[in-house]
């Protein structure tokens, strides 16, 4: 049945969830955000005339986003193995494709800005807190603890990316803004999956709240340190850094793990 003839809201809840987390749904309505645009943006958008300092700041920000998307790609791919059922595995396969595409378009953006060796720049510029976050995220995935790893990946990391991309898109040049707005649409879907899956589990097993809170206690400071380290290098005023932290805490707190 095509998306146009299928009344999603008439479906029983379990079937609805399986459908919106399927490749069938992804192919029909989601993947178009980035696929219709070569490397994530329309070709007719003009490159702004950056001065050296502006270009440097944008390159530094993009290098952090590339590391974030690299860990999301590794995390989502790793979660497939430990996901408890087929619909979750299939959703994570769609997410893994999304994260690979996000990384690809962001690395391409670095090339458009004249970065000759994006991988080296990413490694040189990434903040220590973000590197540490990657180690801890992948360690949670490696433990095989589905709830903790999904919380770290699809709630904490996704909420952090969502907050940063959303705020940056407001002031970004037109090309970067179009990339970020496309990526944000996918990140919304990823965080929605994490909240839904964990919310249903928490409603049956409230004792999960404590171990998930322990994950937050460990990872929240790394997210906030990463914001602080990166934004300081970007010359962002302290008031804006505090606002970004609040955006993140609001997004990550929607599950009520506090
Ligand atoms: Fe992503
Ligand atoms: Fe994501």
Please identify every residue whose CB atom is under 5 Å from ligand 1, which is an ion. 69, 72, 99, 102
Tally DSSP H helices, then E strands, for the chain: 12, 0
- Kindly identify the ligand whose nearest atom is closest to the C-alpha of 68: 1
pLDDT of amino acid 36:
67
**pLDDT tens, per residue, the chain with 258 residues:** 444 456 666 777 778 788 788 887 887 766 556 666 777 777 777 788 888 999 999 999 999 999 999 999 999 999 999 999 999 999 999 999 999 999 999 999 999 999 999 999 999 999 999 999 999 999 999 999 999 999 999 999 999 999 999 989 988 999 999 999 989 989 999 999 999 999 999 999 999 999 999 999 999 999 999 998 888 877 778 888 889 999 999 989 988 888
What was the pLDDT predicted at 1? 45
Residue 2 pLDDT: 47
Ligand 1 centroid, distance to 236 Cα (angstroms): 23
Residue from 146, 142, 167 nearest 246 by CA: 167
Is residue 151 within 8 Å of 84, Cβ to Cβ? no
Q: Give which of 205, 211, 189 is closest to 257, Cα–Cα.
A: 211
Backbone angles phi, psi at 47, to 5 degrees: -75, 125
Is the CB of residue 105 less than 8 Å from the CB of residue 66? no
Sole residue written with tokens 């997210």: 223
pLDDT value of position 235? 77
Q: How far apart are CA 111 and CA 113, in angstroms?
A: 5
CA dihedral 157, 159, 160, 163 (to 10 degrees): 160
Ligand nearest the Cα atom of residue 91: 2
The domains of the chain are located at 13-26+50-255
CA distance 72 to 55: 25
CA 107/CA 87 separation, integer angstroms: 30
Are 191 and 162 a contacting pair, CB within 8 Å?
yes
φ and ψ at residue 237, rounded to 5 degrees: -60, 150
- Produce one character per residue of 109-135: b if its CB has 16 or more CB atoms within 10 Å, e if not: bbeebebeebeebbeebbbebbeebbe
Cα(49) to centroid of ligand 2, in Å? 30
CATH architecture of the domain 13-26+50-255 equals Up-down Bundle (1.20)
Are 159 and 252 in contact by the 8 Å Cβ rule? The answer is yes
Q: Using a cut of 0.85, tell me whether the model's pTM lies above it.
A: yes
- In 76-218, the DSSP E strands lie at none
Distance 181 CA to ligand 1 centre (A): 11
The vertex-36 CA angle with 121 and 28, nearest 5°, equals: 120
- What does the block give as tokens for 182? 């496309």
Q: Which of these, 257, 229, 250, 228, lies nearest to 241 by C-alpha position?
A: 228
Q: Which ligand is nearest to the CA of 67?
A: 1
């Amino acid at each position: 049945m095509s998306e146009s003839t299928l009344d999603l809201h008439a479906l029983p809840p379990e079937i609805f969830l399986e459908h919106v987390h399927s490749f069938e749904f992804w192919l029909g309505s989601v993947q178009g955000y980035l696929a219709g645009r070569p490397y994530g943006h329309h070709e007719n958008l003009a490159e702004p005339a950056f001065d050296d300092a502006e270009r440097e700041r944008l390159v530094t920000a993009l290098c952090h986003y590339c590391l974030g998307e690299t860990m999301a790609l590794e995390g989502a791919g790793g979660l497939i193995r430990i996901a408890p059922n087929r619909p979750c595995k299939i959703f994570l396969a769609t997410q893994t494709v999304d994260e690979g595409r996000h990384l690809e378009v962001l690395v391409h953006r670095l090339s458009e800005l004249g970065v000759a060796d994006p991988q080296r720049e990413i490694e040189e510029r990434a903040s220590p807190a973000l590197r540490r976050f990657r180690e801890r995220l992948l360690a949670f995935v490696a433990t095989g603890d589905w709830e903790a790893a999904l919380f770290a990946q699809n709630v904490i990391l996704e909420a952090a990316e969502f907050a940063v991309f959303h705020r940056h898109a407001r002031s970004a040049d037109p090309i970067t803004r179009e990339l970020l707005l496309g990526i944000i649409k996918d990140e919304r879907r990823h965080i929605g999956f994490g909240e839904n899956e964990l919310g249903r589990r928490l409603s049956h097993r409230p004792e999960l709240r404590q171990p998930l809170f322990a994950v937050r206690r460990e990872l929240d400071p790394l997210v906030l340190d990463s914001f602080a380290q990166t934004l300081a290098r970007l010359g962002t005023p302290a008031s804006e850094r505090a606002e970004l932290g609040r955006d993140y805490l609001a997004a990550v707190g929607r599950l009520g793990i506090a």
